[in-house]
């Protein structure tokens, strides 16, 4: 949240300086959307840091959900709301844990030395519908396995998501098979 406020302050300062002295400067829609995207990017980075912390604290087990990350104090519920959605804060229980889905989708990936030979897998992403009608075009922000956040056009995002689900299905199939060294009776 502190990083989001710093980014917002810097961008607003850059936007407002040219308008100083004007009596009611018109807000720039492109700049306003850029600020929202920067905040959303920061939210996904926070999600990445929280998932990594959970993974390290729980013997390489991925967090089962974003709500667990909030419950354990690794993430704030505010980080689950994108400014692009225009919604207010999430409903939470008495402990501050969200009781409704946020604007980001998380895919818990199990530990593997071979995450994907075909490219980066998706860990989390902003719901693409948040960008319908925006100046950014058709796409969304995506957190990938190298813990980087990138903008992806919708077609590229759908391919990355499909690759992630395919990898996950293969990984789950392999991990559910009995070890060849163990004979079943």
Q: Give per-residue pLDDT as tens, 168-177.
A: 998 887 766 4
Whether 92 is in a domain gets the answer: no
* Distance, CA of 41 to CA of 43 (rounded, Å): 5
Q: Is 8 exposed, middle or buried, given 0-12, 13-18 or 19+ CB atoms closer than 10 A?
A: middle
Which pLDDT score, from 0 to 100, does residue 183 have?
Answer: 34
Which pLDDT score, from 0 to 100, does residue 5 have?
Answer: 53
Q: Give per-residue pLDDT as tens, 91-127.
A: 999 999 999 999 999 999 887 666 655 568 999 999 9
Whether 7 is in a domain gets the answer: yes
Q: What is the mean pLDDT of residues 154-168?
A: 93
Whether 89 is in a domain gets the answer: no
Residue of higher predicted confidence among 67 and 2: 67
Whether 88 is in a domain gets the answer: no
Residue 57 above 90 pLDDT?
Answer: yes
Domain range for 62 = 2-15+28-82+98-176
**pTM for the whole thing?**
0.79
Whether 23 is in a domain gets the answer: no
Structure token digits, residue 44: 């996904």
* Distance, CA of 185 to CA of 172 (rounded, Å): 23
* Distance, CA of 60 to CA of 73 (rounded, Å): 18
DSSP codes, the chain = -HHHHHHHHHHHHHHHHHHTT-SSPPP-HHHHHHHHHHHHHHHHHHHHHHHHHHHHHTTTPPPS-HHHHHHTTSS-GGGG--TTT---PPPB-TTS-BSS--SEEE--PPP-S-S-TTSPPEEEEE-GGGGTTSTT-SEEEEEETTS-EEEEEHHHHHHHHHHHHHHHHHHHHHHHSPPTTS---
- 110 with 164: CB under 8 angstroms? no
Total domains present in the chain:
1
Whether 122 is in a domain gets the answer: yes
Residue 139 above 80 pLDDT?
Answer: yes
- Indicate the range of 19-23, 80-84, 170-174 predicted with least confidence: 19-23
Whether 107 is in a domain gets the answer: yes
């Amino acid at each position: 949240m502190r990083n989001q406020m710093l980014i917002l302050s810097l961008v607003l300062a850059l936007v407002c300086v040219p308008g100083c002295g004007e009596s009611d400067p018109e807000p720039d829609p492109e700049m306003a959307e850029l600020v929202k995207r920067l905040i959303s990017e920061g939210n996904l980075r926070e999600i990445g840091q929280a998932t990594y912390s959970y993974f390290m604290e729980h013997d390489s087990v991925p967090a089962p959900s974003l709500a667990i990350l909030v419950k354990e104090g690794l993430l704030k519920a505010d980080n689950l709301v994108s400014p692009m959605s225009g919604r207010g804060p999430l409903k939470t229980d008495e402990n501050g844990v969200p009781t409704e889905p946020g604007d980001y989708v998380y895919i818990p990936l199990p530990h593997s030395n071979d995450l994907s030979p075909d490219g980066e897998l998706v860990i989390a992403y902003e719901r693409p519908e948040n960008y319908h009608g925006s100046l950014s075009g058709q796409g969304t922000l995506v957190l990938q396995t190298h813990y980087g956040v990138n903008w992806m056009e919708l077609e590229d995002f759908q391919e990355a998501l499909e690759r992630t689900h395919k990898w996950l299905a293969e990984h789950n199939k392999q991990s559910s098979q009995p070890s060849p060294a163990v004979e079943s009776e």
